[in-house]
Amino acid sequence: MARLVMKFGGTSVANIDRIRNVARHVKREVAAGYKVAVVVSAMSGKTNELVGWCKDASALYDTREYDAVVASGEQVTSGLLAIALQEVGIDARSWQGWQIPISTDDAHGTARILDIDGEKLGAAVDGGEVAVIAGFQGVHLPTGRLTTLGRGGSDTSAVAVAAALKAERCDIYTDVDGVYTTDPRVVPKARRLDRIAFEEMLEMASLGAKVLQVRSVELAMVHNVRTFVRSSLVDPDAPEMGEVEKAGTLICDEEEIVASQMESQVVTGIAFSKDEAQVSIRRVADKPGIAAAVFGPLAESHINVDMIVQNVSADGYTDITFTVPTADFERAKAVIEKARDSIAFQSLEGASDVTKVSVIGIGMRSHAGVAAQAFEALAGKGINIRAITTSEIKISFLIDAAYTELAVRTLHSLYGLDS
């Protein structure tokens, strides 16, 4: 029978009762004949507590010891779930990242996975044992030091394990029952999607949707790991829980999505991010080297730049506008101000009360006029667009934050996502 990887987030394992509920989900899949590996996060709130302890101990803590501390949350959960599974008659054991091993680089706190040896793990699950793996962690083999993958890293762990095991699917269990056309808290008519292509999910995750970590979607796309987002809070024995797509959203290759569905649905979803700040540099000389003078120092300061707009040159001068994460707003302005002599700008302006709203859909590749419809609809609601960027399957607008919900609702209705 095929191998299956199941991942449970912090809210799914928040207490012993929920861990017992997770055990029931796992037992259902074992009974269905799957060879199962489970990846778990720390209990809800535990990682924040552990991070807080590190900061209390020292403002300039050793990141290697930080990893040793914060990874303990997943270690506790993996052990508790293994005990709960044994209690319901399932052969199970816990695994830590170094035991597999999950090999990473040495960027403690934000490590990236280099390789996973799936041989021992595969032999264990094929032998009928459920492997309960502590997510979020790995090991830097040259030093033997434990590493962590950054917040949300358990999603990445799960997809990587699924790729190493050549699993049929990677099921990501959360406190929501799938991926929606937009945030249901903003648009009550938002619909759960049965399927979504990797590229679309990657755009949605990077543009504000909080369902999956971006790195996990990238990994799933590269290794073609079919990923299923579903809720752990539903009764494990409910009839629909045994049927893919009736219980959540399948993230898969574009070719798996029925052609007729792609043709009829131009736009798949509307994402938005309030973690945006706008920086505008006025009257910059329009000549070679200026862009490098602006964005070089920002890159050296590890400030991520997103949307970039340059106005048409007038009288030999131009304006450059770009966005950065809100947390980097003041630092970005300071970096540009420091480079004033090399950039030679007249004035520096900025705003942190902005939101990026994005329209996403693989159907946009073969349909014209999608952007024009959005421009007209937003203008009709009196919403001014500060900046625009596009890709083959995405259009993003930067607008005043006060109009966020109105813009999202307007675009959601415009593209027929309400029904």
Q: Are residues 243 and 330 in the same domain?
A: no
Is 74 within any annotated ligand binding site? Answer: yes
| Within a domain: 263 | no
| Within a domain: 261 | no
Within a 10 A sphere around the Cβ of 126, how many other Cβ atoms? 12
Note the pLDDT of residue 287: 86
How many Å apart are CA 114 and CA 110, to the nearest integer?
13
Is 40 within any annotated ligand binding site? Answer: no
Is 376 within any annotated ligand binding site? Answer: no
Compute and round to an integer the Cα radius of gyration of the chain. Answer: 23
How many Å apart are CA 169 and CA 224, to the nearest integer?
10
| Within a domain: 388 | yes
How many Å apart are CA 42 and CA 73, to the nearest integer?
5
How many Å apart are CA 409 and CA 378, to the nearest integer?
10
Q: Are residues 212 and 289 in the same domain?
A: no
How many Å apart are CA 345 and CA 371, to the nearest integer?
32
Is 180 within any annotated ligand binding site? Answer: yes
Is 210 within any annotated ligand binding site? Answer: yes
Task: Read off the DSSP letter of residue 110.
Answer: S
| DSSP string for residues in 354-407 | EEEEEEE-GGGGG-S-HHHHHHHHHHHTTPPEEEEEEETTEEEEEEEGGGHHHH
Query: Are the C-beta atoms of residues 224 and 253 closer than 8 Å to each other?
Result: yes
> What is the residue range of 180's domain?
3-256
Is 63 within any annotated ligand binding site? Answer: no
Query: Are the C-beta atoms of residues 96 and 85 closer than 8 Å to each other?
Result: no
- The token duo for 418 is 């309400």
Cα–Cα distance list, 55 to 58, 59, 149, 264 (Å): 5, 5, 18, 52
Residues of the chain with pLDDT under 70: 242-246, 258-264
How many Å apart are CA 295 and CA 411, to the nearest integer?
32
Q: Are residues 247 and 287 in the same domain?
A: no
How many Å apart are CA 108 and CA 86, to the nearest integer?
34
Read off the CATH number of the domain in which 89 is found.
3.40.1160.10
Of the candidates 205, 225, 256, which is a domain's last residue? 256
β-bridge mates for residue 357, sequence order? 272, 397
Note the pLDDT of residue 244: 63
Is 10 within any annotated ligand binding site? Answer: yes
Of the candidates 256, 282, 314, which is a domain's last residue? 256
| Within a domain: 419 | no
Note the pLDDT of residue 242: 66
Q: Are residues 314 and 202 in the same domain?
A: no
| DSSP string for residues in 242-303 | GSTTTSEEEEE-GGGS-HHHHHH-S--EEEEEEEEEEEEEEEEE-STTHHHHHHHHHHHTTP
Read off the CATH number of the domain in which 289 is found.
3.30.2130.10
Q: How many domains does the chain have?
A: 2
Residue 237: burial class (beta carbons within 10 Å; 0-12, 13-18, 19+): exposed
Note the pLDDT of residue 262: 47
Helix (H/G/I), strand (E/B), else coil: 335:
helix
Q: Are residues 12 and 79 in the same domain?
A: yes
- The token duo for 348 is 């520096």
Nearest to 7 by CA among 205, 200, 227: 227
- The token duo for 343 is 């950039």
Q: Are residues 13 and 46 in the same domain?
A: yes
Of the candidates 232, 256, 280, which is a domain's last residue? 256
